[in-house]
Amino acid sequence: MKILVADKIAVSGVEFLKNQNNFEVIEAYGSSPEQILELVKDVSGIIVRSDTKITREVIEAAPQLKAVGRAGVGVDNIDIEAATENGVVVMNTPGGNTIATAELTFTHMLCSTRQIAQANASMTAGRWDRKVYGGAEMFRKTLGILGLGRIGAEVASRAQAFGMRVLAYDPFLVESRAKQMGVEAMTLEDVLKEADFITVHMPLTDSTRNMIDKTSIATMKDGVRLVNCARGGIINQDDLVEAIESGKVAYAGLDVYESEPLAEDHPMRQVHNLVLTPHLGASTKEAQESVGIEIAENVAKAVVGGVLQNALNMPSVDSKTLDALSPYLHLGANLGNFLQQIAPDQVNKLKITYFGKIVDIDADPLTRSILQGYLTNISGDNVNSVNAPILLKQLGIENEVVKSSEESDYNELIVLEATGGDGEIYTVQGTLIGKAGHPRMVHINGRDVEASPEGVMLVVENQDVPGIVGVLGTILAKAEVNIASMSLSRNHVGGLALNVVNLDTAPNDEAFQEIVSSENIKSATVVSL
C-alpha cells in the first residue's frame, strides 16, 4: 500500500510509516496540484497539513484511497463531502496541539496587558519608552471564552491560576460540566457584555463566521481585549481594525486570518495595538512531534481496516467498543445483504431495531455495517462503512434505527425490516448462538428458522404439503449441488412453509427454473453472501 505524505510532518511520523512492512511511503512536499493528481492514482492514504488541497478532483482521481489525515485540527483544505461520497475517511489530530494553542493564546493575553511586542520594537529601534508602555494586570479581571472544548478548557485553567473570573459561552456546554471546571456558563450576549478579555476557541461554521463583528463589538466593554488563535473568519477583520483605531478595543492578538498567508500589504500589519503571529498555534516542537506520530498511526490503522480515531465523517470507535461490537459486525452485514436479496428492488424504508445487550453499546458502526451489507449488490465496491448512509439516502431510502427496551427471546437480537413500494414489509432477524457466538438467522418474513447467514442460500416458499423436501433434494442432487443444512418453518399446518437451504454451490439456471416451476412452490430465491 502507498501512503502519500504531501506536507512535511515530524520525521518520527514518517519513520513510523516506513517501518511498517506493508507500506510504501511517498514524500512529496511542495508538490503542485497537477503533481498531486498524478501521485494519488494508486495511493491508499494521504497525509497533509494545511498547504496541500485535497479537492473533489483529487479524491476522485484516487480509486484506492481509503483515508486522508490532517496533521492538525482544521480541515478546510479537505473536501469532506467528496471524501464521504467516495468512502474515504477523513481524520485530524485535535488533541496534539491543545497545550501549544492554549499557551499561545495566553501569550497573546499577556502581551495585551504588557505590550511586550511593541516595547521590544521600540528597544530595537534604540528608544527607552518606559513611560509609553504602561500595562494592566490580569488578576481579578474577567475572561470570556467562546467555545469550551479541549483548548478552551486549558485556557480556563490557566486563567484561574492567574486569579481571573472565567465566563464561557458554548452551546454544547452543560451546567454540570461548567461547575466542575469552575467557570460560569452564560449566553453569548452576556459574555460579550461582561468580559474584559475575550478569546475564541470555536470551529469556523456558518453560525460562527463573523460572530465577532461591528454589532457584537459595540456591546462589549470599552477597552476590551480580543484574541483569536482558533480559525480565521470568526472575527471580522475590518470591523476589528476599526474598533482598535477607535479605542473601543484596547488590544487584539491574532494567529489566524480570513485568508492565509496574510497579504504583505494588508492594513492590519500597520495597526499599533494589534499583534499578529503567522498561524503558530501548533508550532512547537512537542506539538509537531505529537501530531506527526498521531496522524501517521491513525492513517496506518485506517487503510488496513483497524480502529478509527478522530474520524470526522464517521464515528470513531475506541478499541473496547470495537471489541464488543466485532462479533456483530459480520452478522449485521450479512443480514443486510440477505434482506436486500429477498426484498423487491424498490424499497422505501429500512428499519433496524436492536434488542438486548446491543442497546448498551454504541451501535453506529454496526448500523453502518448493516447498511453496507444492504448496499453491496446495489453499489458494489463503491460502498463502505463511510459512505453507506449517504448512498442509502441518495437512493431515496429512509433509514430508521431503534434501540428497544422490550424483552426478546435472545440476549441480543438484530431485526431488519424493508418496506417495499407496495407497503409490504420484508423482515430478517439474527443473533449470535452459543459461547462461540455463531451467527444465526432466527426469523425470516414471519417464520422462525435457524440458518447460518453465509455462502449460498436457497430460500423457498411453498405450500405445506408432503414431498417438498424430496423434490428439492432430487433437483439439487441431479444438478450435483450438495446441501449443507436445511431449516424448515411454517405459519400453520397446511399453510405456507419456508425452506432455507445452505448449499455448497449455487444451482445452475436449469435447476433453479425446475424448482420455481415445481408444483406447490410459490417462490424461490438464491441468495449469495
The answer to whether residues 71 and 13 belong to one domain is: yes
Catalytic residue among 49, 231, 368, 440: 231
Q: 354 and 442 share a domain?
A: yes
Which CATH number goes with the domain that contains 341?
3.30.1330.90
Closest CA to 145 of 128, 167, 127, 130: 167
**Last residue within a domain, chosen from 427, 449, 471:** 449
Predicted TM-score (pTM) above 0.75:
no
For 45-91, the DSSP string reads EEEE-SSS-B-HHHHHT-TT--EEEESSS--TTB-HHHHHHTT-EEE
pLDDT beyond 90 at 224: yes
- pLDDT, tens digit, for every residue of 147-164? 998 899 999 999 999 999
Residue 525 located in a structural domain: yes
In a domain, 134, yes or no: yes
Residues 134, 26 within the same domain: no
Indicate if 239 and 354 belong to the same structural domain: no
Whether residue 309 is contained in a domain is answered as: no
Which of 423, 449, 475 is the endpoint of a domain?
449
Model pLDDT for residues 297-351, shown as the tens digit of each residue: 999 998 987 767 778 787 766 667 777 788 898 999 999 999 999 999 889 999 9
Domain membership of residue 281 (yes or no) is: no
Domain span at residue 296? 2-96+286-303
CB atoms within 10 A of CB 138: 20
Show which of 429, 449, 469 is a domain's final residue: 449
394 and 291, same domain (yes or no): no
Q: Report the CATH number that the domain containing residue 496 is assigned in CATH.
A: 3.30.70.260
Residues 261 and 136 in one domain: yes
Contact, 227 vs 274, CB < 8 A? no
Q: 146 and 199 in one domain?
A: yes
Residue 243 has pLDDT above 80, yes or no: yes
Which CATH number do you get for residue 142? 3.40.50.720
Whether 241 and 323 share a structural domain = no
**How does residue 235 score in pLDDT terms, banded at 50, 70 and 90?**
very high
- Does the residue 190 lie in any domain? yes
Residue 253 shares a structural domain with residue 398: no
Kindly state whether residues 125 and 115 are assigned to the same domain: yes
Of 108, 201, 279, 368, catalytic = 279
Both 108 and 92 in one domain: the answer is: no
231 has catalytic annotation: yes
From the list 260, 398, 400, 519, the catalytic residue is 260
467: buried, middle or exposed (CB in 10 Å: 19+, 13-18, 0-12)? exposed
CA–CA distances in Å: residue 314 to residues 87, 193, 217, 288, 329: 10, 38, 37, 25, 16
Q: How many folded domains does the chain comprise? A: 4
Active site residue 260: yes
What is the average per-residue pLDDT within 20-26? 92
Residue 311 lies in a domain: no
Sheet-wide strand order for 521-528: 483-490, 496-503, 456-463, 521-528
pLDDT digits (tens, 9 = 90+) for 336-391: 999 999 999 889 999 999 999 889 888 888 998 999 999 988 877 668 778 888 88
In a domain, residue 378? The reply is yes
444 and 468 fall within a common domain: no
The answer to whether residue 310 is domain-embedded is no
